[in-house]
Chains A and B, each alone.
Chain A
C-alpha cells in the first residue's frame, strides 16, 4: 500500500507506543477510509484516546507508520490539525476566565475556513449559553461545545473522542444529527471513540476493536453481523456488544 496516498484517509501500519514501560499500542494496524465513519471501540484504558492523540501529532509513535491524508503527523502536524476537527470533551481545558463566546473567538484565527455564523448557529441549536464560562459547563454541554468547535471550520477529518459522553437523549440526538449533517456529503472521514454501542451501530460504517493494546478486529457493520451469525447462529438479533465480548474473550484465550 502506498502510505502517502492522500485519498487513503487514515492509515496506521504496525504502530507501537508505550508510556514508560507500559505498552499502550502494539503492532496496531488499521485504516479509516475516506468518506466513511469508523468507530473505535474497546474497554477502558486500552489506548483509544492515545491513538487519536497520535493521529493529531500530540504524541509520537515509537515505531510503525501513521498517515492522515497521506501526511505524517510528526512532520505535518500543523497541516493535519488545520484539516481536522478534534473533539475530546474530557480533555478540553481552557483558562477559567474564558467564556463560550470568547472560546470561539479565540479559535477563529487558527482556522482559515472558520464559519462563525455556522458555529453560532450550532451553539444556538444546542442551547449553550454564550456567556457561560467554559469551565462551568456541564459535561454534556462541554461535549456539545467541543463537537461544535470541531466541525465549525468544515474539516475533512473528524476525530471525536467520546463525543456523546454525558449527553441526555435529546442532546445525544442533536449532536448525532450535527455529525450526520457534516458527513452527509460523503467526503469526510470520521474516526470516533465511543462506549455506546448503540451510537456506534447508528453512526458507523466500520468498526475497529482495540483490545490489549492491539486492533483485534476491523470490518464493516455488515461483516460484524455475518461474523456474529456464524459464531452464534441461534442468536435472535445482532448485538455489537456480543462481538466485542467475543473478541475480547478470544484474545484472552490466545494470550493465556
Chain B
C-alpha cells in the first residue's frame, strides 16, 4: 500500500518537477528584485509568491490528469480513487510545505544579503500574511484534487480553474488596494472598480489558459458549454468581487447615511478640523478636513490614510500616515507619510517612512529603528530602537530590543528629556527616567491605556476595571475612579492646561468638566470625540454622527457638518 502511494507521489513529483524547479530558480530572483526595487512589495512577496506557486501546482496537478486520457490510464490500474486523491493531497501538502520553507529561507537569505538596504526599512509580519495565503491556497488545492479524481475528466480542470481564478480575484481585490497605495491606481471609486475588473479579467484569462486549454479530454461538443459555464461563474465571481471591493473602496462621504466620524483633530490656529470618516463598523476610512468658518469640506486624496496625535505641521499642512493595506499602521507595515493641504485636500508631499518615524515619538529625542531581517518576524516587528537625546549638554543614548514601550497604547511620552510613562511586560505603570536609569512604579496594574495631559502633570490611566486621573509625580489619584465600562474619558486634544476631560457615562450626564473644581462646563448627550479649537472658549466634538462646535462660555452651539 505504502509502495503504491509513494509510487503515485513520485509520479506527481515528476509531473511537477519542471514547474517546481523553475519556481525554485525564479523565487529568489523575484524576492531580490522586490527588496532592491520596492520594499513594500518585499513585505508581502513571500505570501503572495507562495499562493501563486501553490495555486499553480494545484491547477497543474489537476490539469495534468485531465489532459488527454491520462486519468483513464491511471484508473485502469488496480488502485482506489481514494489512493489517487491521497497521493495528490500528500504531494500538494509536501510540495506546498517545501515551497513555504524554501520561500522563508530564500527570503531570509535575500534579506540578509541585502541587509544594508534593508536596514532602513521596517519589515515584519510575514507570519500572519503567510498563514492567510496558505489557508486559502490549501483549501483550493484540496478541492482541486478531490474534483480532479472524482470527475475523472476535464471537469476537474474547470473546477481548478474556477478556484485558481477565484484566488486571483481575491488577490486582485487586495492588489487593487495595493495599487492605490502605491499611487498606480486613481483614487476615485469607479476607477478602482475598473482596476479590479482588469485584474479579474487577467486572472480569468490566466485560469482559462492554465486549465481549460490543457484539459483536452473534454469532448468537442462539451468544450464550449464547459468553457461558457466556467467563464460565467468566473465573471459572476469577478463582478461580485469587484462590486464588493468597489463598495469598500468608495470614499466615505460625511453626510452619507452609513458613515461616521471617528477621530477629530483641530489645527493649532483653530481654522481647520480634520476628521477620519469611515463607513459604520469599519476601521479604515478617509481623512476629511472642514473649514470651521464656512463648513466647507475637502477629502484628502490618500487611500485609507489616518493621523496620529497632532498631525499639523508648522506650515499649516496636515500630515497623515498611510499603511500598505487597509486599517491602521502596524508593525508589519512600511508606512508612508503624506502631507496635504487642508484647504483643497491635495497631496503636497508623499514619502516612505521608517518604523521609528511613525512610532509615538518623544519630541526631545531622535529615534532610529533598525529592523533585524534575519530574525523571525512577528506582528510587532523585531528590531533595535535607539533613542538619542541631549541633556545638559551631554548626548545620551538608550537602546531597546523591541519598542513596545513606544508603540503601544500603554505608553505616554513625556516632554522632559529621557522620560516616559509606560507599562512593563507585566502591565505595571512605570515612570521611566532613562537618564538616571531608574524606574518608578506608579500602579501595579495591569494598566491598558495611558494618556498624559499636555502639561504632563496628569495622566488618565485605564485599567481592566476602572479609569482615573493620576498625578504623574506622585502617582496619586486626583479624579475618579470611574468604572471602565461606563463611558470613557479623554483629554481635550490641544488643551495646554490639562484641566478638561470629557466623561461620557450615559446620555445627559456627560460633558466637559473642570477636573480641579468639578464644575460642569458643558453637557453633551453622546460625545464620541472632541477637540479644542484655537482658544479654550470653543471645542468641536462629534455627537451622533455630527460635528458640532460648542462655545464653552455659554455662546450658541452650531453644527459644523451633519
The answer, among B15, B75, B77, for a CB contact under 8 Å with A107, is: B77
User: A97 CA to B72 CA in the complex, in Å?
Assistant: 18
User: Does B69 contact A81, Cβ atoms closer than 8 Å?
Assistant: no
User: Does B11 contact A95, Cβ atoms closer than 8 Å?
Assistant: yes
With A78-B79, A95-B14 as given contacts, are A110 and B4 in contact (CB-CB < 8 Å)? yes
Q: Is residue B474 contacting chain A, with contact meaning CB distance below 8 A?
A: no
Q: Chain B 70-111, CB within 8 Å of chain A: the 1/0 string? A: 101101111110000000000000000000000000000000
User: Does B7 contact A106, Cβ atoms closer than 8 Å?
Assistant: yes
With A81-B77, A82-B78, A106-B7 as given contacts, are A95 and B72 in contact (CB-CB < 8 Å)? no
| CB closest residue in chain B, given A19 | B219
User: Does B11 contact A81, Cβ atoms closer than 8 Å?
Assistant: no
User: Does B79 contact A110, Cβ atoms closer than 8 Å?
Assistant: yes
Most chain A CB neighbours (cut-off 10 Å) among B4, B75, B76, B77: B76
User: Does A58 contact B77, Cβ atoms closer than 8 Å?
Assistant: no
With A106-B7, A110-B4 as given contacts, are A95 and B15 in contact (CB-CB < 8 Å)? yes
A31-48 contacts to B (CB < 8 Å): none
User: A92 CA to B71 CA in the complex, in Å?
Assistant: 10
User: Does A110 contact B78, Cβ atoms closer than 8 Å?
Assistant: yes
User: A109 CA to B76 CA in the complex, in Å?
Assistant: 14
User: Does B15 contact A78, Cβ atoms closer than 8 Å?
Assistant: no
User: Does B73 contact A93, Cβ atoms closer than 8 Å?
Assistant: yes
Chain B interface category by residue count: 20 to 34
Q: DSSP class of B's interface residues: helix, strand, loop or mixed?
A: helix
User: Does A58 contact B72, Cβ atoms closer than 8 Å?
Assistant: yes
User: Does B7 contact A86, Cβ atoms closer than 8 Å?
Assistant: no
List chain B residues, Cβ under 8 A from A91: 69, 72-73
User: A86 CA to B79 CA in the complex, in Å?
Assistant: 14
User: Does B77 contact A110, Cβ atoms closer than 8 Å?
Assistant: yes
List chain B residues, Cβ under 8 A from A78: 78-80
User: A106 CA to B17 CA in the complex, in Å?
Assistant: 17
The answer, among A93, A97, A107, for a CB contact under 8 Å with B14, is: A97
Q: Output the least CB separation between A22 and chain B (Å).
A: 11
User: A102 CA to B11 CA in the complex, in Å?
Assistant: 10
The answer, among B11, B75, B78, for a CB contact under 8 Å with A111, is: B78
Q: Is residue A98 contacting chain B, with contact meaning CB distance below 8 A?
A: yes
Q: Is residue A132 contacting chain B, with contact meaning CB distance below 8 A?
A: no
User: A102 CA to B10 CA in the complex, in Å?
Assistant: 11
With A58-B75, A58-B76, A81-B77 as given contacts, are A109 and B3 in contact (CB-CB < 8 Å)? yes
List chain B residues, Cβ under 8 A from A93: 68-70, 72-73
Q: Chain A 77-117, CB within 8 Å of chain B: the 1/0 string? A: 01101100010100111110110001000110111000000
Q: Is residue A160 contacting chain B, with contact meaning CB distance below 8 A?
A: no
Q: Is residue A56 contacting chain B, with contact meaning CB distance below 8 A?
A: yes
Q: Is residue B510 contacting chain A, with contact meaning CB distance below 8 A?
A: no
List chain A residues, Cβ under 8 A from B44: none
User: Does B73 contact A92, Cβ atoms closer than 8 Å?
Assistant: yes
Q: Output the least CB separation between A14 and chain B (Å).
A: 25
Q: Chain B 7-51, CB within 8 Å of chain A: the 1/0 string? A: 100110011010000000000000000000000000000000000
Q: Is residue B451 contacting chain A, with contact meaning CB distance below 8 A?
A: no
User: A82 CA to B79 CA in the complex, in Å?
Assistant: 9
A14-62 contacts to B (CB < 8 Å): 56, 58
Chain A interface category by residue count: 20 to 34
List chain A residues, Cβ under 8 A from B17: 97
Q: Output the least CB separation between B13 and chain A (Å).
A: 11
List chain A residues, Cβ under 8 A from B3: 109
List chain A residues, Cβ under 8 A from B68: 93
List chain B residues, Cβ under 8 A from A82: 78
Q: Is residue B148 contacting chain A, with contact meaning CB distance below 8 A?
A: no
List chain A residues, Cβ under 8 A from B160: none
User: Does B64 contact A95, Cβ atoms closer than 8 Å?
Assistant: yes
Q: Chain A 100-144, CB within 8 Å of chain B: the 1/0 string? A: 001000110111000000000000000000000000000000000
List chain B residues, Cβ under 8 A from A56: 76
| CB closest residue in chain A, given B3 | A109
User: Does B7 contact A109, Cβ atoms closer than 8 Å?
Assistant: yes
User: Does A94 contact B79, Cβ atoms closer than 8 Å?
Assistant: no
Q: Output the least CB separation between B226 and chain A (Å).
A: 15
Q: Output the least CB separation between B82 and chain A (Å).
A: 11
User: A78 CA to B76 CA in the complex, in Å?
Assistant: 9
List chain B residues, Cβ under 8 A from A79: 78
The answer, among A58, A86, A106, for a CB contact under 8 Å with B11, is: A106
Q: Output the least CB separation between A76 and chain B (Å).
A: 11
| CB closest residue in chain A, given B1 | A109
Q: Output the least CB separation between A141 and chain B (Å).
A: 16
List chain A residues, Cβ under 8 A from B78: 78-79, 81-82, 110-111
User: A102 CA to B7 CA in the complex, in Å?
Assistant: 11
Q: Output the least CB separation between B237 and chain A (Å).
A: 29
List chain A residues, Cβ under 8 A from B75: 58
User: A107 CA to B64 CA in the complex, in Å?
Assistant: 18
User: A72 CA to B481 CA in the complex, in Å?
Assistant: 81
List chain A residues, Cβ under 8 A from B73: 91-94
With A81-B77, A107-B77 as given contacts, are A95 and B70 in contact (CB-CB < 8 Å)? yes
Q: Output the least CB separation between A163 and chain B (Å).
A: 15
Most chain A CB neighbours (cut-off 10 Å) among B4, B64, B68: B68
The answer, among A86, A95, A97, A102, for a CB contact under 8 Å with B76, is: A86
List chain A residues, Cβ under 8 A from B69: 91-93
User: Does B70 contact A94, Cβ atoms closer than 8 Å?
Assistant: yes
Q: Chain B 398-428, CB within 8 Å of chain A: the 1/0 string? A: 0000000000000000000000000000000
Chain A interface residues (CB < 8 Å from chain B): 56, 58, 78-79, 81-82, 86, 88, 91-95, 97-98, 102, 106-107, 109-111
Closest CB pairs A-B (n = 4) = A81-B78, A82-B78, A109-B3, A93-B69
Contacts A78-B80, A93-B72, A95-B14 known; list 18 others, CB within 8 Å.
A58-B72, A78-B78, A79-B78, A86-B76, A88-B76, A91-B69, A91-B72, A93-B70, A93-B73, A94-B70, A94-B73, A95-B64, A95-B70, A97-B17, A106-B11, A107-B77, A109-B3, A110-B77
Ordered by A's residue number, 30 sampled pairs between the chains whose C-beta atoms are within 8 Å are A56-B76, A58-B72, A58-B75, A78-B78, A78-B79, A79-B78, A81-B76, A81-B78, A88-B76, A91-B72, A91-B73, A92-B69, A93-B69, A93-B70, A93-B72, A94-B73, A95-B11, A95-B15, A95-B64, A95-B70, A97-B15, A102-B14, A106-B7, A106-B11, A109-B3, A110-B4, A110-B7, A110-B77, A110-B78, A110-B79
Chain B interface residues (CB < 8 Å from chain A): 3-4, 7, 10-11, 14-15, 17, 64, 68-70, 72-73, 75-80
